[in-house]
Amino acid sequence: MSDDKEIFEKVYEEGTPWTESKPPKELVHLIESEKIKPCKVLDVGCGEGFYAIYLASKGFDVTGIDISENAIKLAKENAAKQGIKIKFMTMDVADLDKINDEFDFVFEWAILHHIMPEQRQKYVENIEGILNKKGKYLSVCFNDQNPDFGVKGKKLRIVPEGAKMPAGTRMYYSSFEEMKQLFEPHFYIIEAKLIKMTAGKKEHIGNYFFMEKS
């Protein structure tokens, strides 16, 4: 994602169109149902830190990473306002193998569609590598049937002029089966489904995969 760093720095400086201060109901359900109990968590692409703050408030030991220095600055400020201690770091998701730590739960929300197909195998292997035995992994990304930018079924989409996101931003929308094939060699899939997810107060079709390290 390093090619997009400048774009994300600008977006977080000017105000993102996708920030949600409330955690997604799917994440809340995992916590309230105790499918995920307080443990060490890595929030990949943490943005302004709101989901990390929610988890920390529930007793989790949270680390949040984001490629944007501006996002991490905001995340630290938001956590400090609530008196919550979280470790936030500026890091490209391509560098997960450089994290000298292991986690019981790794999650990313609306991040994987920013990772191009040729980079995904290494990314998933890195997730597997930083998970403890029986560690859990939640991945949610845009499905290719999303009608964003007036199209559906198209995988690689370039943000056009006039959209809320910066023009030229690349995103790769995946089919459900495509994601299943990516994850199955590395994880036991506990639950997989299509969901209606929100990003920036807009509803999207999402690929939801809740998994355990094989």
pLDDT in tens, 21-41: 899 999 999 999 999 999 999
Q: Is 16 strand, coil or helix?
A: coil
Q: What is this structure's pTM?
A: 0.94
Torsions phi, psi for 184 (to 5 deg): -55, -35
What length is written for the chain? 214
The predicted structure's pLDDT at residue 4? 77
The predicted structure's pLDDT at residue 2? 58
β 131-142/103-109 pair status: parallel
Instruction: Provide the residue ranges of all domains of the chain, joining segments of one domain with +.
Output: 2-213
How distant is the alpha carbon of residue 1 from its chain centre?
A: 13
The predicted structure's pLDDT at residue 200? 65
The predicted structure's pLDDT at residue 193? 98
Beta strands in 48-130 (DSSP E): 61-66, 87-90, 103-109
Measured CA distances, 69 to 2, 76, 160 (Å): 12, 11, 25
The class of domain 2-213 in CATH terms is alpha beta
The predicted structure's pLDDT at residue 194? 97
Residue 182, burial from CB neighbour count under 10 angstroms (0-12, 13-18, 19+): buried
Write out residues in the chain with pLDDT < 50, as ranges: none
Region of 4 (left: φ > 0; alpha: ψ -120 to 50; beta: rest) is alpha
Measured CA distances, 193 to 11, 100, 108, 214 (Å): 30, 32, 16, 20
